[in-house]
Amino acid sequence: MFEGFAEDRIELGESSIFVRYGGTGPPVLLLHGHPRTSATWHRAAPLLVAEGFSVVCPDLRGYGRSRGPAPTADHSGYSKRAVAADMVAVMAALGHETFALAGHDRGGAVAFRLVLDHPAAVTRVAFLDALPISERLSRITVMFVTRWWHWFFFAQPDTPERVINADPDRWYAGDPDAMGEENHREFRRATRDPAVVRAMLEDYRAGLTIDLEHEEQDRAAGTRIGCPVTMLWSTRDDTEDLYGDPLPIWRNWADDVTGHSIVSGHHMAEEAPEQLAAALGRFLED
């Protein structure tokens, strides 16, 4: 995987971030979702390098080979604000004070917080199968709760850890043929580590508490995204089932919003890398 990419570990005091990076040209930061690692980009990232971008793929705080602080009662150590600050520091350490940004799934929530908290750093932002947490929660339906019950299960104390760690391979299903064998092995190493499982759950616990508070504060303050936004969503995921056209939701937060669907399942970087890289390339070059 990632032929021609370098690997590094960037120490940030409270966190230690594993990162892959390669290419030359305008920088773009790719943020993975749950329960993946930076390896999820192994098919799409080289295509963006070939298009002339400098591509940075970190493991989010607590995921994969990155590490974060011990959990606290307010979950602030795994808030999207803390993780977004990690990402800005990682990019600065690699020499990128400004950059384009794409976040998938939970990485999309980090990207949202990053562009709100650090607007001068982000030139463009792409959200992949991602909507603001507060927007999802304000639209709860029976269908949402049935399909997204894990959000509320993961938010419970202690029990999710016991359930998941009893059989992580069964809980976190993954197909090595679909994912790629090396990506799958990295995914398995991560999900078999109880410390990683705990951190991933803290991500969700933060989402329903401190992250929601931060989004509601921004909404009340009228905070908006100033740079161009695109949203790309998977046809075989449930975005359209739950929300219809998702672009008006992002227009609650930004004026310059475009986007379209991609024929794929949820993990589009693995399942439809050519289409994803082409769509990102067009957006980043506009």
- Active-site residues, by number, are 105, 266
3-state secondary structure of 126: strand
Cα four-point dihedral sign 186, 191, 194, 199: positive
What is the sign, positive or negative, of the torsion defined by CA atoms of 158, 161, 138, 62? positive
Helix axes 194-207, 159-166, angle to 10 degrees: 140
Which ranges of the chain would DSSP assign to H, the alpha helix?
44-50, 80-93, 106-117, 133-137, 142-147, 149-154, 159-166, 168-171, 176-179, 181-191, 194-207, 210-221, 239-243, 247-250, 268-271, 273-285
Do the Cβ atoms of 266 and 236 come closer than 8 Å? yes
Displacement of CA 74 from its chain's centroid (Å): 21
- Overall size of the chain counted in residues: 286
